[in-house]
Amino acid sequence: MKTIDLSLLWPLFALQGLLAVIGLVSLVRARSVRGPKWMWAIIILLGNLLGSLAYFTIGRKE
């Protein structure tokens, strides 16, 4: 069994974290979003890639 090499995986986690941070910053600064803000915060934090993606594509109001 291969041991999981963390040096390969940490960039992936770092990027996911970065995406979540960008999402949260834009959420805090947005004047209004579709639906309650706390709901989107939970989605971004728990939904990994898909959660942030959902927020950026359907949650934001232009």
- For other proteins, the binding residue among 22, 24, 33, 41 (CB under 8 A) is 22
Instruction: Judge contact between 33 and 40, C-beta under 8 A.
Output: yes
CA-nearest of 61, 51, 58 to 24 is 51
DSSP state, residue 36: -
Residue 51 binding other proteins, by CB under 8 A: no
Cβ distance to other proteins smaller for residue 1 or 38: 1
At residue 31, what are phi and psi to the nearest 5 degrees?
-75, -45
Q: Which residues bind other proteins (CB under 8 A)?
A: 1-2, 4, 8-9, 11-12, 15-16, 18-19, 22-23, 25-26, 49, 52-53, 56-58, 60, 62
